[in-house]
Amino acid sequence: MQNAGTIRMKGRALLVNLDAWNRPGDLVIGAADLAGLMNERRPAKLWHVNRGADVETVEHVGAAWVTKTGRGVAVRCDLLAGLTVYAAMSQGQAVIAGRRQSAGLAAPASQAGTEKRSRNDRMEAGLRRGFV
């Protein structure tokens, strides 16, 4: 896992700060969705909120859900090629309760783009063995 950002409270909503997000505006999980996510383990929507001088734009850009084990929260942003990042459930609950300022988000190394192939590892090497 590799660091990918943080989550923190902004008012009653959860603000998601992704390192890969370089657009204006904030990624937010709303207060109503946040209660359902943490208490009832219902999936929540991730919103992009962009406040201009006189116009406020809100669009749906992803989702958040509790993992199968119940020990983490996953956040997926469709605008970032489906990047999925994870936070520990205990840290997320501490942020919501106000006992912690922020919680870290982590992405698997394969999604973060750090996986490198060697020069000798050819993409079609498995195909050659299968057809010969």
Domain spans, the chain: 2-131
Give the pLDDT confidence score for residue 120 in this predicted structure: 59
> How many whole angstroms separate alpha carbon 47 and alpha carbon 57?
10
Torsion angle defined by CA atoms of residues 98, 106, 81 and 93, in that order, rounded to the nearest 10 degrees: -20
What's the whole-number mean pLDDT along residues 91-110? Answer: 91
CA end-to-end distance (rounded Å), the chain: 38
Q: Residues 68, 69, 70, 74: what is their CA dihedral angle, to the nearest 10 degrees? A: -50
The pTM of the whole model exceeds 0.85: no
pLDDT at 99: 95
Determine the pLDDT at residue 114. 43
